[in-house]
Amino acid sequence: MIVFKRNSIPKFLMHLLPWSIFVLLASSEAVGLIWGFFSRADGSIFFPVLYGTALGAVIFYLNLYHLIPKFFSQNKKLKYWAYGFLLVLLVCLLETVIDISVLTYRHGSQENGAEGQGDFWVSFVWVFANTTVANVACWIFAFAYRFPKDWIENERQKNQLEKDKLRSELGFLKAQINPHFLFNGINSIYHLIGADNDLAKETLLQFSGLLRYQLYECNVSFIPLTKELDYLKSYVKIEEVRKGEDAMFDIKFPDEDEKLKPLKIAPLLISPFLENSFKYLSHNSDSSKNYVRMQMMIDGENKFRMVLVNSCDPKIKKKPESNGGIGLVNVKRRLNLIYPDKKHELEIVSSEHKFEVDLMIDLNEN
């Protein structure tokens, strides 16, 4: 019992249509086809075109669905060419025999059927050459049909694999950021314990809110910009409490208005820069020389801009960019993966006394 899949009949009809159109056109009076000993003028062309097309379709589909995927695509080229040659040869011989038989039946004898073309073998070679041209064309058409289709499918699979790879890599990078932030946050609270326990409790509560944000709200590709900014504001408050009067802070966030609501950004991209600025902030006795200055803004083209500058301690031999380690290295990688080409610009300048970050992210279509 033959079972047809739900979409097999429409697919069959879609393939049958062009073959049928070809038979009708080739045997029509408008075309006036002459094929070997057959012609439209004497009414002998339709039947040869019909079975010739059917045999050509056999070559086309065997090459398309069997030989190419089983041998050619599997790098078994020698077997492919051998089987392909054998297939075309057998079909051409069969069609030639049928052509000769039709001619013999139509004209009463092979000699009459091959009138003007010499003896039987000359006629046989003549018919075989004509059928070979048509059948080799069908064999080539299978390539022309199959290769663009395979190329599109291969590109789709490659793109999907690339997306899966990027998704895995981004997940790995994001997972690395969380312990880094956790370490810095606990270190901040540690400095408050004993000095101001009430403030330590309040800060711990804020810190738990930040962890909750990371654990439950950041498991998506993009998050509302307003939520990310709220997270950063809370983080800055914790660090300002820890640093107290030992440093000067000038932190400006974008004005809250309606234009921010539809914008989205990849989560936890900005925080590593802030962590780095507080972690490697200088410790001069003059607090005015210890500073963190940050300004965030959104321009009319929905481009996020952050300029962040912090003072550095020249006694620290390693520069913040390298000493920041896992945070900055990962955020650069994430920026390249999520906002490729011209979707972001990042400039980092590290000197003996100052560390600067200038970041632009195009938030359109996120």
Domain ends where: 99, 126, 152?
Answer: 152
Mark whether 146 and 203 lie in a shared domain: no
User: What DSSP designation does 254 have?
Assistant: P
287, part of any domain: yes
27, part of any domain: yes
| Section 318-342 average pLDDT | 70
273, part of any domain: yes
CATH code at 216? 3.30.565.10
Phi, then psi, of 156 in degrees rounded to 5: -65, -45
Mark whether 140 and 250 lie in a shared domain: no
Q: Which of 77-81, 278-282, 324-328 is the least confident region?
A: 324-328
179, part of any domain: no
| Section 280-300 average pLDDT | 89
Mark whether 202 and 131 lie in a shared domain: no
Domain ends where: 120, 152, 184?
Answer: 152
Mark whether 30 and 147 lie in a shared domain: yes
Domain that holds residue 132: 8-152
252 and 236 in contact (C-beta within 8 Å)?
no
User: Tens digits of per-residue pLDDT, 61-106?
Assistant: 888 888 888 888 777 888 888 988 999 899 888 888 887 787 766 6
134, part of any domain: yes
| Section 167-179 average pLDDT | 60
Q: How confident is the model at residue 331 (pLDDT cuts 50, 70, 90)?
A: confident
Q: How many helices (H) and strands (E) does the chain have?
A: 10, 9
**pLDDT: is 132 or 316 the higher one?**
132
Mark whether 81 and 209 lie in a shared domain: no
Mark whether 201 and 253 lie in a shared domain: yes
161, part of any domain: no
Mark whether 146 and 269 lie in a shared domain: no
Q: How confident is the model at residue 1 (pLDDT cuts 50, 70, 90)?
A: very low
Q: How confident is the model at residue 325 (pLDDT cuts 50, 70, 90)?
A: low
Mark whether 129 and 29 lie in a shared domain: yes
1, part of any domain: no
Domain ends where: 98, 122, 152?
Answer: 152
Q: How far is CA 283 from the centre of its chain?
A: 48
Nearest 5°: the CA angle 276, 277, 279 is 60
User: Tens digits of per-residue pLDDT, 215-269?
Assistant: 778 778 889 999 999 989 988 888 887 777 788 999 999 987 778 889 999 888 8
Q: How confident is the model at residue 349 (pLDDT cuts 50, 70, 90)?
A: very high
Mark whether 215 and 124 lie in a shared domain: no
108 has pLDDT over 80: no
Q: How many domains does the chain have?
A: 2
User: Tens digits of per-residue pLDDT, 28-71?
Assistant: 665 556 665 666 666 667 777 788 888 888 888 888 888 888 88
144, part of any domain: yes
Residues comprising the chain, all counted: 366
Helix (H) or strand (E) holding 264: strand 264-265
Instruction: Give pLDDT, residue 5.
Output: 53
CA distance 33 to 7: 36
| Section 6-17 average pLDDT | 67
Mark whether 142 and 200 lie in a shared domain: no
